Structure 1
Amino acid sequence: MFYVSRDKKKEPAPECVAFHPFAADIFLSERKIPHIARYVELPTLSAYDEVPAVLVVNVQVPLYPASILHGESDGEGMNLVMYFKLSESYSKELPTHFRENIMKLINDEVERVKGFPLDTIAPFRERLKILGRLANVNDLQLSATEKKLMNAYNEKPVLSRPQHEFYLGENYFEIDLDMHRFSYISRKGFETFNNRLKYCIMDFGLTIQGHKAEDLPEHILCCMRLNNIDHTKYSQLGC
């Protein structure tokens, strides 16, 4: 179960989601593969109004050692690709304001953000938020330092900006999350788990951060449980 925000307090996320999972892939490559939906045959599904029928989430995971140098942001990696289809009850279960926010995300709209001394204009896509959880922490043999990190960061939501890209296709919307550009500390922490991913049960989700009372509680854009990811079982490909 994911927890979302209501007035800066966590509460269980509503059970209805905008997109339901139907498949996942792992692709290994020498360099990052952006806009991976170009190379995948997607099913033909019915859309709703202007909302694409398929959501593709491409998590680009580095498999080379983390470097403290800022210029190191590409190389051998794993593309963890998750596929979601539009909920059949999209127009019935989801509140109007959340559906409107999804359209703003897809259409790359901007919004005014209050600030001091002046308000600023920011892309609405900067509200995209990652929800992540390692569900079987107690099953893993973690060091004292790793346990401390898990207690601090497990289940902690994080905005995806600026390490994200978006692509709109004929019947799909793709979100690329580029972990190659994550901070050195984040990458170094994840690097310690690379060889133990095959033992991990991970929950992944996306939501749109709420800025106004009517945005709360936050609703889930998509979510998926991932089990026993072992990138050593796959071969590299090139695009």
Structure 2
Amino acid sequence: MGGCVSMPENCVGGGIKSSKVKVKLKLRRRRKALKRRVSSRLYDQSKAPPSGDAPNSHGSTDDLWCDSTSILESDCSDEDFQSFSDDGSEAVSWPHIGSLRDGEAHRSSVHPEQMIFQSSIDENAGRENGIQSSSRKKAAFKLSFKRNDEHTNPTIIPSKIHIQRPIAGSQVPFCPIDKKMIDSWSFIEPQTFRVRGKDYLRDRKKELASNYAAYYPFGVDVFLSQRKIDHIAQFVKLPDVASSTGDVPSILVVNVQIPLYPAALFGGEIDGEGISFVLYFKLSDCYSKELSSQFQDNMRRILDDEVEEVKGFRVDSVVACRERIKILGRVVNIDDLQLNAPQRKLMHAYNGKPVLSRPQHDFYQGENYLEIDLDMHRFSYISRKGFGAFQDRLKDCILDFGITIQGNKTEELPEELLCCVRLNCIDYMKYHFLSLDHVSS
């Protein structure tokens, strides 16, 4: 009668409770032993059966292809999977597993060890399928990125066709100045630009330029590129135009190289995906009559890449005459751009301000042409960031572009225009890549 006090496990209530504790401990030991066995048996994938294979009838892991790490990481807490039948015997419920691989709707009572093996297979198969699917997606993405990287930037430049040695000026159509047509170019009068006046060195005033330019536009091209294209005149068909003067090229090519990748503050790239706005100009028939002799002399010195002495505050220095090339740019339709107050203030403050292209320019000469490459890839971080914020609005802008030779002496004033053109709302993403396979002899 008193045996129940010292031996509670022999009593009905105490025996059930003790049995439950023993089962819990037994299950925990089995799980630990299983983990040790699985961890010690890593199989080569070449010996693995198909993913649909199940363990043998004894629950052995010898034929399993599984990752021990995955199994250990997928273990759930004891409370998630342990339960007992009404009669106190061992039973395990796995509500989180769902159905078996063979399509069973659910599990009710299965031996714990077999259940652990089966859950390992199910979870490992799920992980394996997920890993394989993820690997396939990553591989496909890498392949797609590699293919895109060979031709285009997948995030900035869409896939485009490559055109080989097009006729210069055949990409962007011409539009008369009094008409409105997007994606076009127009003539513009040189006198619409303000330049250094005759008395600029004394009164620092600017005035409208004379209505003559050394070169007049005959075409505009826009090309996409994975890397900036230097000396782009080699890859297009320039017209065969004889020069009216023996010492001045009949054609001027201006290649404005614009980056499409973000600017970096320190040690950034100076080459990458971008666009080239290529402007073509023909020498004026009245070049010798309309342009001053001083301008013509400066032009000759630029062509011959001469140097000159510049007086400084402390010491004099010798610089190339080409360092005096100056860019004139103006957005005509600021009010149409829907800028906020700070942007509008900034635009009005700097719109039309001339900029010396040095040292971000290069010069190339051919049989009948001079090419000037204006390399914005090499602009300063601040300039790049400022233009980058404005870049998406290029397709909405009417831009007047001109080039002059800066006058540093009284006899070189007033300044005169080398060339000028208007660009009407050009959306550069509509244009194509330029093939670099052909180089003219």
TM range (shorter): over 0.9
C-alpha distance after superposition, 1:124-159 (max 9, x if no partner): 000110000001101111122211221221100010
Partner of 2:332: 135
Aligned to 1:49: 246
Name the residue aligned to 2:284: 87
Length, aligned pairs only: 239
Shift of 1:116: 3.3
- Name the CA distance, whole Å, in 1 between partners of 2:418 and 2:433: 30
Q: What is the distance in 2 between the residues matched to 1:70 and 1:19?
A: 38
SS at match of 2:327: strand
Separation in structure 1 between the aligned mates of residue 365 and residue 342 of structure 2, nearest angstrom: 41
Distance 1:38 1:237 in 2: 11
216, 223, 246: which one pairs with 1:27? 223
Q: Deviations over 1:160-207 (max 9, x none)?
A: 000000001100000000011111111111112222211100000000
Q: Which has the higher helix share?
A: 2
Bigger mean CA deviation after superposition, 64-73 or 126-135: 64-73
Shift of 1:69: 2.4
More strand by share: 1
Contact in 1 for aligned 2:406/2:415 (Cα 8 Å) = yes
Contact 2:331–2:399 (8 Å) recurs in 1: yes
- Are residue 10 (structure 1) and residue 10 (structure 2) matched? no
1:147 matched to 2:344? The reply is: yes
Shift of 1:231: 1.3
Q: CA RMSD in A?
A: 1.1
Which of structures 1 and 2 has the bigger CA Rg?
Answer: 2
Letter in 2 for 1:21: P
What residue is the counterpart of 2:301 in the other structure? 104
- SS of 1:14's partner is coil
Q: TM-score, normalised by structure 2?
A: 0.53
Name the stretch that deviates more: 111-120 or 223-232.
Answer: 111-120
The whole-number CA distance in structure 2 between the counterparts of 1:70 and 1:218 is 37
Aligned mates of 1:207, 1:179 — CA distance in 2? 18
Structure 2 runs not aligned, ≥5 long: 1-191, 437-441
Contact 1:30–1:238 at 8 Å: present in 2 too?
A: no
Larger mean Cα displacement after TM superposition, 53-62 or 68-77? 68-77
Structure 2: how far apart are the matches of 1:193 and 1:230?
13
Deviation at 1:117, TM superposition (A): 2.6
> Quick check: 211-220 or 188-197, which moved more?
188-197
Match of 1:182 in 2: 379
Q: Cα offset for 1:238?
A: 4.3
Q: Which consecutive unaligned segments of at least 5 residues does structure 1 have? A: none
> 1:61 maps to which residue?
258
Q: Tell me, in whole angstroms, the C-alpha distance in 2 between the residues paired with 1:28 and 1:99.
A: 35
Task: Report the Cα distance in structure 2 between the residues aligned to 1:34 and 1:204, rounded to whole angstroms.
Answer: 20
Quote the sequence identity (%). Answer: 60
Distance 1:164 1:130 in 2: 11
CA contact (8 A) 2:235 2:435 kept: no
Paired position in structure 1 for 2:430: 233
Instruction: Read off the aligned partner of 2:387 and give its amino acid letter.
Output: F
Give the structure, 1 or 2, with the largest relative contact order (CA under 8 Å, sep 6 or more): 1
Does 2:409 align with 1:212? yes
2:429 counterpart SS class:
helix
Paired amino acid for 1:117: R
